[in-house]
Amino acid sequence: MKSKYLLITVIFSALFFALGFFINGPSENSEVLADTTAVKSTTEEPVITTNQTSEKSKTNYAKLLKGKFILAGSDYAGYEFIDAKTISWTNELFPMDPDTMSIKWIDESTFITKFSKKTNKDCAPVIGVLKVVSYNDGKLVLKDYWTGWNDRKDELSTFHQSYE
C-alpha cells in the first residue's frame, strides 16, 4: 500500500515539474547553455549614435553640443552648453536664475560639472558626472551618474534642443 502512494506521489511530482517547466519556459541560463554560439550583449547603455558620424568613429561631443537643451516634459528646465568650459542649468521653478557651472570633459562623451557659486565655504562644490548616451536630430539623452550620499540609481534624462 505504501509503495502505491509513493509511486503516485513520484508521478505527480514529475508531472508538476514538467508542467512548470513548459508553462514558465526555460530559464535564461538554460538558453545560454543550450546555445553556446549565441552571444548576448551585456551592456546596459544604448549605443551612441549621431546623425553626423558613422558607427566606427567616436564623436567629440565637447565640440558638437552647443546651445540650450530643454528637459523632456518641462517648459524651461535644462542645460545650456555655453562653450567648451561653461554650462548652465535652468531650474523649472526659477527660470530667470540659472546656475552656472564649469564643465570638464573626461573623454569624447563623458563630462563633469562643478557649480561655480559656493553655497557653503566649508563644503566641497556640488559636482555631477554625465555621459552622452545619444544625440540625434536635436534629441539629447544623458546618463547622470549618482555621486551623492545614500543609494540612488543613475538616471537617464532626455532633452530636446531649443532653437530660440
Residue 157 CA to residue 73 CA, distance in Å, equals 11
Q: Per DSSP, what are the bridge partners of residue 129?
A: 112, 145
Of 143, 128, 136, residue with least CA distance to 160 = 136
Cell numbers for 62, please give them. Answer: 565637447
Q: Hey, what CATH class is 61-162 in?
A: mainly beta
Summarised one tens digit per residue, pLDDT across range 73-97 is 999 899 999 988 999 999 988 888 8
The predicted pLDDT at position 7 comes to: 65
Summarised one tens digit per residue, pLDDT across range 16-54 is 555 554 555 444 444 433 333 333 334 444 444 444 444
The two most distant CA atoms of the chain are separated, in Å, by: 87
| The model's pTM | 0.62
The predicted pLDDT at position 31 comes to: 40
Question: What's the angle, vertex CA 17, arms to CA 15 and CA 18, rounded to 5?
Answer: 65
The gap between the terminal CA atoms of the chain, to the nearest Å, is 87
The residues spanned by each domain of the chain are 2-34, 61-162
